[in-house]
Amino acid sequence: MTDQITFTVPGNPVAKGRARAFLRKGRVAHYTPPKTAVYENLVRMTAQQAMAGREPMDGPVELVVSARMRIPASWSRKRQQAAGTGAIVPTARPDLDNIVKAIKDGCNGILWRDDSQVVELRAQKSYGHVPCVQVQVRSLKVTEEVN
């Protein structure tokens, strides 16, 4: 069993988009927005590489997500430096909780069997010179689990 896995999803963090509904032959059908599907596939592939063929974790896990947003090129050098040191943090979209949802859904069946196994969660959003999402998953030891 794997105790801890760490990996980095390259590129700008993408928030989980809402499922869209439409009518097809008189029935309601749903689909995931393409941008979300592409990002979740990137997360899935990156997680698979990190797992290197190992089985998904069983039991409760802790998830740590650190989303690094691109520093806007239009900002002054002084403001860019402040963002790079953490003196300025991103308060605009995408929402942190929706970034976490995309990461969790992309990891289903790869890092854990189902994202309901995530019982501890830490997440943060900051600026970085290289945009990415750093993910750390750790298996938690428990004495008794009640279903």
pLDDT digits (tens, 9 = 90+) for 87-140: 999 999 999 999 999 999 999 999 999 999 999 999 999 999 999 999 999 999
Residue 106 lies inside a defined structural domain of this protein: yes
Model confidence pLDDT, tens digit, residues 75-89:
999 999 999 999 999
pTM of the model: 0.89
Query: How far apart are the C-alpha atoms of 40 and 51, rounded to whole Å?
Result: 16
1 band by pLDDT with thresholds 50, 70 and 90: very low
For the segment 21-39, what is each residue's pLDDT rounded down to a tens digit? 888 888 888 888 999 999 9
Q: Give me the pLDDT at residue 145, please.
A: 60
Residue 112 lies in a domain: yes
Can you give the pLDDT at residue 21?
Answer: 84
pLDDT above 90 (res 142)? no
- State the residue range of the domain holding 70: 4-139
Q: How many domains does the chain have?
A: 1
- Kindly state whether residue 111 falls inside one of the protein's structural domains: yes
Q: Where are the alpha helices (DSSP H) in the chain?
A: 34-51, 77-85, 96-107
Assess contact for 107 and 115: CB atoms under 8 A: yes
Q: State the Cα–Cα distance between residues 8 and 91, nearest whole angstrom.
A: 22
Q: Within a domain: residue 69?
A: yes
- Asked if residue 18 lies in contact with residue 106, where contact means CB atoms within 8 angstroms, the answer is no
Q: What is the pLDDT of residue 114?
A: 96
Residue 130: CATH number of its domain: 3.30.1330.70
Whether 147 is covered by a domain: the verdict is no
- Helix crossing, 96-107 with 34-51: angle to 10°? 60
**Does residue 97 sit in helix, strand or coil?**
helix
